[in-house]
Amino acid sequence: MPSHFVPARRKKVTFQSKKRALCFAILISGTGSNMEALIRKSRQEKALAIKPVLVLSDTEQALGLKKARALGVPAKFLSAKPFKTKLEGGREQVYLRALQKHGADMLCLAGFMRVVKKKLIHGYKQRMLNIHPSLLPKFKGLGTFKRVLASAEKEAGATVHLVELALDGGRILEQARLLIKTDDTAETLKERVQSLEYELYWHALRKRALFFRKKQGLKK
Ligand code: GRF
């Protein structure tokens, strides 16, 4: 186990070094466009020392894995079977071990198509972020764009929130919104919302990471 980890009696990830960068990992299942944006933006602001250390995918063929490797970030497929829609039990432990081995202080879910459970949430309490393509608390869950278009809503958008046990129910950190056009389809709306996501997610991660650096007495 690397030296910067306090082996967790409380099973909680804690910082030790006051000098090293704040390290984050990303969990994906597919394309990884948010993942890519987070990696690129963190590098554009190198002086902040917020560093991507690992990408994990529950899907072997995820395009995001290739993108992460091309960007020089360690990227691994980790099966979550036999579960179909959640990450639990022994598989959750495997994920936690990989994250701890790479020294991940924070965790970003970016299109990770599984419900995460207690151990992971506890391990990254207040330090696990997710991005959801709606203006939460409206339109939790899947199939967001079709449901938004079928509603009387005039606005759509994206939300970055902390991950807690209630699905898509953790504290909202940041939101970005846009006006729905009369000729929007689920595809055009998805495209437009996703283009808001990249800036939004980096902004939220950056703010949260700086908050933790300060709280832990790390250098800014
Ligand atoms: C994003 O739209 C995000 O809001 C949702 O899943 C999508 C992932 O897309 N949670 P990508 O893999 O980042 O391209």
Q: What is the CATH number of the domain that holds 78?
A: 3.40.50.170
Residues with CB under 6 A from ligand 1: 28, 30-35, 110-111, 131-133, 158, 194, 197
Least confident of 15-24, 81-90, 131-140: 15-24
Tokens of 32: 């990884």
Q: Is residue 220 situated within a structural domain?
A: no
Query: What residue's CA is closest to ligand 1, atom 14?
Result: 33
Say whether 132 is catalytic. Answer: yes
Q: Is residue 2 situated within a structural domain?
A: no
Q: Is residue 99 situated within a structural domain?
A: yes
Domain count, the chain: 1
What average pLDDT does the chain have? 90
Q: Which domain holds residue 98?
A: 22-215
Q: Is residue 85 situated within a structural domain?
A: yes
Greater pLDDT, 121 or 212: 121
- The model carries a pTM of 0.90
CA 87 to centroid of chain Cα atoms: 15
Q: Which residues are 179's β-sheet partners?
A: 155
pLDDT tens, position by position, 161-186:
999 999 999 999 999 999 999 999 99
What b/e string do you get for 117-154 counting C-beta neighbours within 10 Å, with b at 16 or more?
Answer: bebbbbbbebbbbbbbbbbbeebeeeebbebbeeeeee
Q: Is residue 5 situated within a structural domain?
A: no
Q: Is residue 6 situated within a structural domain?
A: no
Categorise residue 141: left if φ over 0, alpha if ψ from -120 to 50, beta otherwise.
left
Residue 214, pLDDT score: 82
